[in-house]
């Protein structure tokens, strides 16, 4: 699939939304990426994940993803690579291995996230890998929104690179045009 075809598929599946959004950061944007929408349709998710897997190192022992956004993609990538899959969750504000999940010294790991913006969750997973003396082969994501501002010190592979413009609310042209403001994930407009 070309990047243009992937963008069209993301839009069709509702993973790339257009409108006037208030992001978690408080900033406003014309676009919002919700990769969870891709995983509503397993056949489409499998096809999209397969495109990512084509770009990845194949010698992986374990795929590890941060909860919750990376879980579905991480599972799908691990299934395609025929390897082990685990995820990390927040515990006392930091990513931690729970549920009996473990990593082992020299284990070859691939860190998988749905969308990378600041890379914070991925950095925490990388720290877990270093703490367990693992060999991090790469970081993979469906969407890289970082604008090249993250450096994981390992290969970073994504299907799409999106530069999504954001605005502080006081200077938002969408607010000035009285476009209805929506919080992603909510069922309605903000008051």
pLDDT tens for each residue of 87-116:
999 999 899 999 999 999 999 999 999 999
Classify residue 116: in a domain, yes or no: yes
Decide if 101 contacts 107 (C-beta within 8 A): no
189 domain residue, yes or no: no
- The maximal CA–CA distance of the chain, rounded, in angstroms, is 56
CA–CA separation, 131 and 136 (whole Å): 12
Residue 100: how many other CB atoms lie within 10 Å: 6
Rounded Cα distance, 43 and 7, in Å = 17
CATH of the domain at 28: 3.40.50.2020
3-class DSSP state of 36: helix
Q: Print the domain residue range for 102.
A: 3-176
Is 190 a residue whose pLDDT tops 80?
no
Looking at the domain assignment, is residue 91 inside a domain? yes
Position 182 in a domain:
no
**In the predicted model, is pLDDT for residue 168 greater than 60?**
yes
In terms of DSSP bridges, do strands 108-116 and 62-66 run parallel, antiparallel, or are they unpaired? parallel
Is the separation of the CB atoms in 187 and 54 below 8 Å?
no
The alpha helices in the chain, defined as continuous H runs, are: 3-13, 42-53, 71-81, 120-131, 173-176
How many structural domains compose the chain? 1
Has residue 88 been placed in a domain? yes
Say if 58 falls within a structural domain.
yes
Q: What is the mean pLDDT of residues 29-45?
A: 92
Residue 166 confidence (pLDDT):
87
Higher pLDDT, 150 or 118: 150
Look up the pTM and report it: 0.87
Beta strand 108-116 pairing with 166-167: unpaired
Strands 84-91 and 166-167, by their bridges, are unpaired
Is-contact 21 181, C-beta < 8 A? yes
In the structure, what pLDDT confidence band is assigned to residue 185 with cuts at 50, 70 and 90? low
Examine residue 190 and state whether it is found in any structural domain, yes or no.
no
Q: Is residue 10 part of a domain?
A: yes
């Amino acid at each position: 699939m070309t990047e243009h075809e992937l963008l069209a598929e993301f839009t069709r599946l509702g993973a790339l939304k257009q409108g006037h959004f208030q992001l978690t950061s408080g900033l406003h944007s014309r676009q919002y990426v919700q990769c969870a929408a891709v995983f509503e349709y397993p056949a489409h998710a499998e096809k999209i994940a397969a495109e990512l897997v084509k770009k990845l190192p194949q010698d992986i022992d374990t795929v590890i993803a941060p909860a919750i956004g990376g879980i579905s993609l991480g599972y799908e990538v691990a299934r395609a690579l025929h390897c082990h899959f685990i995820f990390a969750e927040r515990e006392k504000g930091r990513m931690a291995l729970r549920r009996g999940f473990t990593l082992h010294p020299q284990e070859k790991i691939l860190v998988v996230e749905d969308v990378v913006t600041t890379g914070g969750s991925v950095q925490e997973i990388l720290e877990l890998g270093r703490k367990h003396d693992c060999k991090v082969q790469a970081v993979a994501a469906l969407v890289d929104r970082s604008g090249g501002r993250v450096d994981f010190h390992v290969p970073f592979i994504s299907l799409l690179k999106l530069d999504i413009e954001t605005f502080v609310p006081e200077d938002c042209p969408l607010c000035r045009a009285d476009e209805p403001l929506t919080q992603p994930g909510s069922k309605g407009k903000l008051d």
